Homo-oligomer: A and B are copies of this chain.
């Protein structure tokens, strides 16, 4: 039994406040236990240079943490020095979101997704993907409503979950204290059909036996199906 009375394979309480920000077409406040991430999405008529003369649009993400979001010590704003961890995470988020629709359906447009951590208690990148999935779906609806695209493109819903290995035990959806003690940390992004979108496995403290890794991925795929059900309720 974990300190917060969860079973090893139990998610924390997950909830979303959709349309949290009135100023943007899509937004969601994503909570996963004590982790809170504000996700917003806006579209603009512009594509990055490498898509000029293509028939595709683009989805990109930025991730950051508010200065007071962690307990240890204030997170420095990125004015003087870019935070490399944030860069890595936003690339992870952006790639995941780009698999959710056929980018040709938003030709000529870029959707900018911003995930800002309000309060951090482990699993922020996953909470960011889950809230961003919702904000993105809302924004695509707005694009239809605003008649900048004609039909809602089919959306493949995805979700993300973090799973840790600590003393050979598999723990789902780590909070900060659990994450700190984990030997390995695996982030699985997978789709409503149970297919894999992205996997990031890190084994700083101890390497991961192959069979345990596969078990972790199996569990992650199941958990993500649970999370996607929650997300879809708000659409």
Task: Considering the complex, give the chain B residue whose CB is closest to the CB of A206.
Answer: B99
A191 touches B217 (CB 8 A): no
- Chain B residues with CB below 8 A from A229, complex form: none
Q: How many copies does the complex hold?
A: 6
Q: Given contacts A204-B95, A217-B213, are A66 and B40 in contact (CB under 8 A)?
A: yes
Complex interface: chain B residues within 8 A of A44 (CB) = 73-74
Asked if residues A85 and B91 are in contact (CB atoms below 8 Å), the reply is yes
How far apart are the CA atoms of A209 and B221 in the complex, in Å?
Answer: 11
Q: Kindly state whether residue A178 has any CB partner on chain B within 8 Å.
A: no
What's the nearest-Cβ distance from chain B to residue A37, in Å?
A: 11
For A66-98 the 0/1 string (1 means CB < 8 A from B) is 111111011001111110110110110001001
* Stretch with Cβ within 8 A of B (4 or more), from A8-16, A113-121, A141-149: A113-121
Q: Is B81 touching A84 in the complex (CB atoms < 8 A)?
A: no
Instruction: Tell me the minimal C-beta distance from A79 to chain B in angstroms.
Output: 5
B-binding residues in A (CB < 8 A): 21-24, 27, 34, 38, 40-42, 44, 62, 64, 66-71, 73-74, 77-82, 84-85, 87-88, 90-91, 95, 98-99, 112, 114, 116, 118-121, 156, 186, 190-191, 193-210, 213-214, 217-218, 221
List 30 A–B pairs whose Cβ atoms lie within 8 Å, in order of A's numbering.
A21-B69, A21-B118, A22-B34, A22-B71, A23-B70, A23-B71, A23-B119, A23-B120, A38-B66, A40-B66, A42-B68, A62-B77, A64-B77, A66-B114, A78-B78, A80-B81, A82-B82, A84-B90, A87-B88, A99-B204, A156-B207, A191-B207, A193-B207, A194-B210, A196-B208, A197-B207, A198-B202, A198-B203, A199-B200, A210-B217
